[in-house]
Structure 1
Amino acid sequence: MSKPVVLITGASSGFGMGLADELLKRGYCVYAAARRLEPMEKLREKGAKLLQMDICSDESVQTNIKRLLDESGRIDVVVNNAGYGAYGPVENMSSEDIAYQFNVNVFGVARINSAVLPTMRQQRSGRIIVIASLSSHISTPGTGWYGATKHAIKAMCESLRMEVSSLGVDVVQVEPGPVQTGFEEVAFAKMDKMAVSDDYVPIMKSFRAYMEQSYAKAPGMESTVRAMVRATTVRNPKWVYRTTMESRVIPWLRILLGSRVYAYILMKVFSRASAA
Structure 2
Amino acid sequence: MKKVAIITGASSGMGKSTAFKLNAKGYKVYGMARRTDKMDDLKAKGMEVVSLDLTKDDTIVEAVNTVIEKEGRIDVLINNAGYGSYGAVEEVPIEEAKRQFEVNIFGLARITQLVIPKMREQKSGRIVNISSMGGKIYTPFGAWYHATKFALEGWSDCLRIELKPFGIDVVIVEPGGIQTEWGDIAMENLNKVSGNGPYAPLVNKVISASGKNKDKLTEVSVLGEEIAKAASTKKPKTRYLKGFLAKPLVTMRKWLGDSTFDKILMSQMK
2:35 counterpart of 1:36: yes
Whether contact under 8 Å (1:93, 1:194) holds in the other structure is yes
User: Within 2, Cα distance between the matches of 1:245 and 1:39?
Assistant: 26
C-alpha offsets along residues 133-187 of structure 1, whole Å, 9 cap, x if unaligned?
A: 0100011211111111111111111110111111100001111111111111211
- Displacement of 1:21 after TM fit? 1.1
User: Within 2, Cα distance between the matches of 1:24 and 1:165?
Assistant: 26
Query: What does residue 83 of structure 2 align with?
Result: 84
Letter in 1 for 2:136: H
The worse-fitting range, judged by mean Cα deviation, of 117-126 and 214-223 is 214-223
- Displacement of 1:63 after TM fit? 1.1
Query: What does residue 177 of structure 1 align with?
Result: 176
Mapping of residues 104-253 of structure 1, within 5 Å: 104-196=103-195, 198-253=197-252
Sequence identity (%): 36
Whether contact under 8 Å (2:7, 2:80) holds in the other structure is yes
- Displacement of 1:215 after TM fit? 2.8
Q: TM-score, normalised by structure 2?
A: 0.96
Whether contact under 8 Å (2:5, 2:75) holds in the other structure is yes
User: Within 1, Cα distance between the matches of 2:244 and 2:181?
Assistant: 19
Structure 1 unaligned blocks of 5 or more? none
- Displacement of 1:199 after TM fit? 2.7
- Displacement of 1:198 after TM fit? 3.1
Q: Count matched residues.
A: 270
User: Within 2, Cα distance between the matches of 1:245 and 1:33?
Assistant: 27
- Displacement of 1:226 after TM fit? 1.2
CA gap of 1:218–1:244, structure 2 versus 1, over 3 A, is same
- Displacement of 1:26 after TM fit? 2.0
User: Within 2, Cα distance between the matches of 1:198 and 1:178?
Assistant: 28
C-alpha offsets along residues 214-241 of structure 1, whole Å, 9 cap, x if unaligned?
A: 2332121122111111111111111111
- Displacement of 1:196 after TM fit? 5.0
Q: Cα RMSD between the aligned structures?
A: 1.3
Letter in 1 for 2:53: D
Q: TM-score, normalised by structure 1?
A: 0.94
- Displacement of 1:269 after TM fit? 2.3
User: Within 2, Cα distance between the matches of 1:243 and 1:265?
Assistant: 21
The worse-fitting range, judged by mean Cα deviation, of 137-146 and 2-11 is 137-146
Letter in 1 for 2:111: I
User: Within 2, Cα distance between the matches of 1:198 and 1:186?
Assistant: 20
Whether contact under 8 Å (2:177, 2:244) holds in the other structure is no
Helix, strand or coil: the match of 1:180?
coil
- Displacement of 1:195 after TM fit? 4.7
Query: What does residue 261 of structure 1 align with?
Result: 260
User: Within 2, Cα distance between the matches of 1:244 and 1:17?
Assistant: 17
Whether contact under 8 Å (1:92, 1:196) holds in the other structure is no
User: Within 2, Cα distance between the matches of 1:166 and 1:120?
Assistant: 12
- Displacement of 1:5 after TM fit? 0.3
Letter in 2 for 1:17: K
